[in-house]
Amino acid sequence: MKHAVLMRSVQASVPQAAEILPAAAASEVPVPAGPKPVPSPRPSLRRHLAAKCRRWAALHHAEIRSYVIGAISLALFLLAWHLLTTYRVSFHVRFTNVPTPAEVFRSFARATHSGTLLHHVVLSCRRIALGFVIAAVVAVPLGLVMGRFRFARDIIFPVSEVLRPIPAIAWVPMSIMLWPSNEESIVFITFVGSFFPILLNTLHGMANVDPVLVRASQCLGAREFSIFREVYFPASLPSIFTGLTVGMGVAWVSLIAAEMISGQFGIGYFTWEAYSLVQYSDIALGMICIGVLGLGSSAIIRGIGRVVMPWKRNP
C-alpha cells in the first residue's frame, strides 16, 4: 500500500514517467490484489489453514525429507552403539569396556545434578570465547590491511606462512613457558589455532573483491576509506565468515588438546580425567559434550553470518 502511494506521488510530480517506461512499468510492478472477501467463520478457516500447511509441506519437501532422514540416521547410530556395547562385541575392535548409551545418560544425569559438568563446560566455553574472539579481532583487521596494502602483506605474510603449519598442540610447551598462568596459556593455544584460518580466509576474500565494484564506487565519488568500508569489507565478509567457521572448529581441537595436556577443569580435562579414574561412561559423556558444543558454536557463527549478510540467501 505504501508503495502504491509513493508511486502515485512520483508519477504526479513527473508527468512523463509513463513515457520513460513503455512496457516495463506495467509488467514489472505487481498489481496489488483487491480486498479479499471476508472468510466465513470456522470450517472454511480450518480448511484454509490445512491447505496452507499442505502447500508449505510441498514447498519444503526436500528439507522435511532431509530432517527425517537425519533423525533416522541418528537413531540408527544410537541403536548400533547400544547393540555393540550391550552384547560386548569384540571383533579386533573391542567394545567390552565401552559404556552403553543408557550408562552415559545416567552419568549425564548424575554430573548435571552435582553441577561439576556444567562447571567444566562453562570454563571451556569461556576459554573458547576469549581465544576465538581475540583471534577474530586481530586476524580480520590484519587480513583486511594485508589485502589492501601490499607492503603490509609483504612484511607479515612470510612470518605467518612459517608459523601456520605448526599445529596448535605443538604450541603447548612453548605456551606454558610464555604465559604466567595455565589459564592464559590455554587461551593462547585456542587463539593460535583459530588465528590462521581466519587470517587466510580474510586475505582470500580481499584478493577476490571484484575490481569493477571498486571502480564503480570510485565513479560515485568514494575515496580510500569509504572504498574500504563500503566495498572491500562487505565483499570480503562471506570469506571472513568461512574463516570464522573453520577457525571455530580448529579452536575446539586446540582447546581440548591443551586442556588434556595442561588443564585443570574444562571439558577436555574432564574427558581425560575420566579415563585416568576408570569412569568409562564419563569419557563418552565428555566426547558428546565436545561434539554438541562444537556444533552449537558453529551454529552461532552461521546465525551471526545470516544477520550480518542479509543479501546472502541461505545455501
Q: How far apart are CA 186 and CA 180, in angstroms?
A: 11
17 binds other proteins (CB under 8 A): yes
**Using CA atoms, how far apart are residues 72 and 76, in angstroms rounded to an integer?**
6
| Residue 305 binds other proteins, judged by CB under 8 A | no
CA distance 297 to 289: 12
For the residues of 275-302, what is the DSSP string, one character each?
HHTT-HHHHHHHHHHHHHHHHHHHHHHH
Residue 20 or 162 having the CB closest to other proteins: 20
Closer to other proteins by CB, 31 or 159: give it. Answer: 31
Considering beta carbons, is residue 231 or 250 the nearer one to other proteins?
231
Residue 314 found at the interface with other proteins (CB under 8 A):
no
* 163 touches other proteins (CB under 8 A): no
Entry field: residues in the chain: 315
- Least Å distance, CB 107 to other proteins, is 48
> CA 162, CA 196: separation in Å to the nearest integer?
11
Chosen residue from 25, 59, 69, 76 binding other proteins by CB under 8 A:
25
Toward other proteins, which CB reaches closer, 7 or 68? 7
Q: Given the rule CB under 8 A, which of 18-26, 65-73, 192-200, 251-259 is the region that contacts other proteins?
A: 18-26
Contact status, residue 287 vs residue 107, Cβ threshold 8 Å = no
- Is residue 97 part of the contact set for other proteins (CB under 8 A)? no
C-alpha to C-alpha distance for 83 and 13, rounded to whole angstroms: 77
Q: Which amino acid belongs to residue 280? A: Y
- Contacts of the segment 303-306: beta carbons below 8 A, 24+ positions apart: 304/241, 305/237, 305/241, 305/244
* Segment interacting with other proteins, rule: CB under 8 A, options 7-15, 64-72, 95-103, 138-146: 7-15
Q: By CB under 8 A, is residue 311 in contact with other proteins?
A: yes
- 293 near 124, Cβ under 8 Å? yes
Q: How far apart are CA 308 and CA 136, in angstroms?
A: 15
19 binds other proteins (CB under 8 A): yes
Select the span of 27-35, 78-86, 125-133, 292-300 touching other proteins (CB under 8 A). Answer: 27-35
d(CA 228, CA 199): 17
Binding residue (CB under 8 A) for other proteins from 216, 277, 300, 304: 216
Smallest gap, in angstroms, from Cβ of residue 304 to other proteins? 15
As given in the structure block, the three cell numbers for residue 14 are 513527473
Residues 222 to 281 in contact with other proteins, rule: CB under 8 A? 222-223, 226, 230-231, 234-235, 237
Q: At its nearest, how many Å lie between other proteins and the CB of residue 233? A: 9
Q: What are phi and psi of 93, to 5 degrees?
A: -80, 130
C-alpha cell recorded at residue 22: 513503455
Assess 208 for contact with other proteins (CB under 8 A).
no
306 binds other proteins (CB under 8 A): no
Cell, residue 181 = 598462568
Is residue 89 close enough to count as binding other proteins by CB under 8 A? Answer: no
Return the number of the residue (110 or 302) whose C-beta is nearest other proteins.
302
> Site residues (CB under 8 A) for other proteins?
3, 6-7, 10-11, 13-14, 16-17, 19-25, 28-30, 210, 212-213, 215-223, 226, 230-231, 234-235, 237, 309-311, 313
